């Protein structure tokens, strides 16, 4: 033990011996102990308050996300219906459009497609731009590379449209990407 440590221990012994006979020193020690306990309790209360606030913020954030994206699964399911309507309309020939009965039927299909677009728009569902864009792995899924004069890595064909719901991906766009001609 060092000389300083010995002196400290001796001073503590003398203090303890005199504290037994001195009520002021005992009172001082008791007050110092209570102040230390109060400081510890204050620290614990501040920590608990901060933890409570963090939990509240996290729950509010989770609630906000849950309400914002509650319809995501439903919207994802509706994309298949939208795809079928679009394919049906794309397959219609000009000759069929001239037919009186068929044109009324097509008007109903087009109206349904427009209504789905309107519902998507109200709920923040938007189509991802693909053709002519640089391949973005967060929004596009490359299915094939095609020789092209376009810059390599550019989307030159869209096989299936992709959709976002606000800032969340519902479905990536399935695309063909340009590569240098052989």
All structural domains of the chain with their residue ranges: 3-66, 72-179
Q: Domain 72-179 classified CATH 3.40.50.920?
A: no
Mean local confidence (pLDDT), 119-131: 93
| pLDDT given for residue 41 in this prediction | 94
pLDDT in tens, 66-89: 877 778 888 888 999 999 999 999
C-alpha pair distances (Å), 62 with each of 51, 53, 65, 74, 76: 16, 14, 5, 19, 21
Nearest to 141 by CA among 106, 116, 170, 103: 170
Nearest to 129 by CA among 154, 82, 162: 162
CB atoms within 10 A of CB 36: 10
In whole numbers, what is the pLDDT of the chain averaged over residues? Answer: 89
């Amino acid at each position: 033990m060092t000389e300083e440590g010995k002196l400290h221990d001796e001073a503590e012994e003398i203090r303890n011996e005199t504290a037994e006979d001195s009520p002021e020193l005992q009172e001082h020690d008791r007050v110092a102990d209570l102040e230390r306990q109060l400081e510890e309790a204050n620290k614990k209360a501040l920590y608990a308050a901060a933890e409570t606030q963090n939990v509240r913020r996290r729950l509010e954030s989770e609630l906000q996300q849950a309400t914002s994206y509650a319809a995501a699964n439903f919207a994802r399911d509706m994309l298949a219906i939208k795809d079928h309507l679009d394919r049906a309309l794309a397959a219609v020939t000009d000759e069929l459009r001239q037919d009186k009965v068929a044109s009324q039927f097509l008007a109903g299909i087009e109206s349904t497609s427009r209504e789905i677009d309107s519902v998507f728009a109200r709920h923040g569902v938007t189509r991802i731009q693909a053709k002519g864009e640089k391949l973005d792995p967060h929004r596009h899924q490359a299915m094939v590379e095609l020789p092209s004069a376009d810059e390599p890595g550019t989307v030159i064909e869209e096989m299936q449209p992709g959709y976002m719901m606000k800032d969340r991906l519902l479905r990536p766009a399935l695309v063909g990407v340009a590569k240098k001609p052989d």
